[in-house]
Structure 1
Amino acid sequence: MLALPPGLDPDLLRSFVLIVEGGSFTRAAQAVGRTQSAVSMQIRRLEDMLGQPLLLRGTRGVEPTQHGLWLLERARRMLALNDEIHATFRQPEVAGAVRLGTPDDYAIRWLPGILARFAASHPAVQVEVICAPSNELVERLGEDELDLTLISEGNEPPGARVRWLWRGPLLWIGTEAAARRRPLPLALASSGCAWRQAAIGALDAADRPWRMTYTAASLSGSLAVALAGLAVTVAMPAPLPEGVSRLGAEEGLPPLPDFAIGLLRGPCSPVAEALAQHIEESFRLDLTIEPPLRA
């Protein structure tokens, strides 16, 4: 009789994914509530089981080997399926409607995977998605027009309890030709945007002259101007359309601060609470998000 291979423990795969995403055994241990030595033992068990080294310590922290990179993509899919099955059978039936706000910049980038899995595990819930700038979404949440919303750091109301989901660098995006113009032409959102304030603050601190060439309501509008070579904009780490690239010190641009994505809730119904927990879990597991990329 043919012997079956041993099954892969989801806990081992979860620790492996968290180590790769965070570049650190320490951060992974904190995320799973274990000691660093316990997480190290998990990785040794996984490597012994698969017969290949999966992680190496490099100049940028812990990095996956070629076998580790191959495993990473598949581990993410296995964990997503594992958690979907668990949620479907263990969570109580939730039904109703929930209103989710999100900045346009996040909607296409991250929401499709999150909402698809939520629909699979909560088929009786109807999600209404409203896209608007973070400052407007905060106002609409306060007026009970939303149940919960994603926001960019810098837009949270004083004293608000925000669940911070992700932190990463803000990047200059555009063409080298546009970046070398003086004053620097900018395509950014309206004056209430935290990204706009960060970009202008960095330029002023570096004494780099600038002028606001275009004001766009969304990142797609700013990228369109950048693609035309007419201005430089800012964006989060993400695949970029052909024709623009990340810019930095070589083009005379100052570094930009990191930013965070947060989840802000109103008075939560069971439906809204279920979606909030699902969003938090998706970000925690990095199921839809690439690791933060440094310029």
Structure 2
Amino acid sequence: MSELNLEISWLHSFVTVAKTGSMTETAKILHRSQSAISMHIKNIEDTLGRAVFSRESRRLSLNASGQELLVHAQKILYVYRNSMRELMGSDVQGHISLGIPDDYAMAYLPALLSIFSEKYPSIEITLCCEPSSQLIPKIAANELDIAVITQDKADRGESLFSEELVWVGKQSQQIWNRSPLPVAMYEFGSQARAKILDKLESLSFGYRIVYNSPNIAGQLAAVESGMAIAVLTRCSVPAHLQVLNNTRLPKLPALDVGVMTSSSVTKGSLAHLLYDEIVLTLRKEA
């Protein structure tokens, strides 16, 4: 009988699907493509020679074999993470400063920080949540070690993924039917603002900016109040607000997201450990 081999990445995907009941949600959490998650589950089932999920409804649920595997998978992952922490990170101490816009922070930091802190529990991270237009100069001035930013040019840092921009509003208010269109906007000087304004200029019925905010909370407040519709990154849209797919609104471009380091960050430094984890965790498969 040949030796069975279940890779750690497969088990990580399996445990997350078991928790969420969805390959789509798992792909978002693990920052992998849905096809990669599906392949991991298929690899597990092919290796075991049996299904581990019941697919009778839209939500995936564990069958008897899956329940049994979950117990073992959780133990394996626990031992693996503790082993990696002891072998690689338990004696590593220090401080790293990380900059990231607040919309990306809400969507992408929890998984990243969870993984990094498991590997390096003694490294302290200071977060600076500001717009990319403020983070980029701070990196240049060595005031931050690392920043996840919206790229203002193709060679600004290491490319990670593209983030879709979407129109957001409250379905009950139908503000998108007003003329001129009331809009809540990103801060002055941002790449998102420049791209949005370019699209708004094409509106035959005009627009007016009723609210400017450097952070996501301000834009959400404007939408909630009924003042305006807003353009948000897809990752930051709360579940209770509507993504507007209305022919009256122009199609929006995507933002290119990257990671950059200050000139003081060198290969093998503490900050470069976090940089490598960001690239590994956040770079999305093509």
Alignment TM-score, normalising by the size of structure 1: 0.71
Question: Does the 8 Å contact 1:52/1:67 carry over to 2?
Answer: no
Cα distance in 2, alignment partners of residues 83 and 101 from structure 1: 30
Which stretch shifts more, 85-94 or 193-202? 85-94
Cα distance in 2, alignment partners of residues 117 and 227 from structure 1: 34
> Quick one: percent identity of the two aligned structures?
25
Match of 1:130 among 128, 131, 154: 128
Cα distance in 1, alignment partners of residues 77 and 119 from structure 2: 11
1:114 CA displacement: 2.1
The residue aligned with 2:19 is none
Q: How does 1:136-151 map to 2 (within 5 A)?
A: 136-151=134-149
Q: How does 1:50-89 map to 2 (within 5 A)?
A: 51-52=50-51, 66-67=59-60, 84-85=81-82, 87-89=84-86
Which stretch shifts more, 85-94 or 119-128? 85-94
The residue aligned with 1:281 is 280
Cα distance in 1, alignment partners of residues 166 and 78 from structure 2: 33
- Aligned residue for 2:182, secondary structure, equals strand
The residue aligned with 1:174 is 169
Which stretch shifts more, 204-213 or 257-266? 204-213
1:249 and 2:246 matched: yes
Cα distance in 1, alignment partners of residues 144 and 5 from structure 2: 43
Question: Does the 8 Å contact 1:53/1:65 carry over to 2?
Answer: no
Cα distance in 2, alignment partners of residues 166 and 228 from structure 1: 32
The letter for the 2-side match of 1:212 is: I
1:194 and 2:191 matched: yes
Match of 2:113 among 112, 115, 118: 115
The residue aligned with 2:17 is none
Cα distance in 2, alignment partners of residues 278 and 232 from structure 1: 36
Ranges in structure 2 where 5+ consecutive residues have no aligned partner? 15-22
Q: How does 1:96-111 map to 2 (within 5 A)?
A: 96-111=94-109
- Aligned residue for 1:249, secondary structure, equals coil
- Aligned residue for 1:170, secondary structure, equals strand
Question: Does the 8 Å contact 1:84/1:117 carry over to 2?
Answer: no
Deviation per CA, 1:29-73: give whole Å up to 9, x if none: xxxxxxxxxx97x7654223262387x9xxxxxxx97548998xx
Cα distance in 2, alignment partners of residues 285 and 77 from structure 1: 25
Report the CA distance shift for 1:183/1:80 in structure 2 as closer, same or farther (over 3 A).
Answer: farther
The letter for the 2-side match of 1:172 is: W
Which stretch shifts more, 14-23 or 96-105? 14-23
- Aligned residue for 2:109, secondary structure, equals helix
Deviation per CA, 1:197-226: give whole Å up to 9, x if none: 222222224545111110012011011001
Q: How many residues end up aligned between the 2 structures?
A: 254
- Aligned residue for 1:91, secondary structure, equals helix
Cα distance in 2, alignment partners of residues 265 and 126 from structure 1: 17
The residue aligned with 1:61 is none
Alignment TM-score, normalising by the size of structure 2: 0.73
Deviation per CA, 1:7-42: give whole Å up to 9, x if none: 7432545788799642446xx8xxxxxxxxxx97x7
Report the CA distance shift for 1:121/1:255 in structure 2 as closer, same or farther (over 3 A).
Answer: same
Question: Does the 8 Å contact 1:227/1:243 carry over to 2?
Answer: no
- Aligned residue for 2:184, secondary structure, equals strand
- Aligned residue for 2:278, secondary structure, equals helix
Report the CA distance shift for 1:45/1:98 in structure 2 as closer, same or farther (over 3 A).
Answer: closer
Match of 1:265 among 261, 264, 267: 261
Report the CA distance shift for 1:253/1:82 in structure 2 as closer, same or farther (over 3 A).
Answer: farther
Which stretch shifts more, 261-270 or 77-86? 77-86
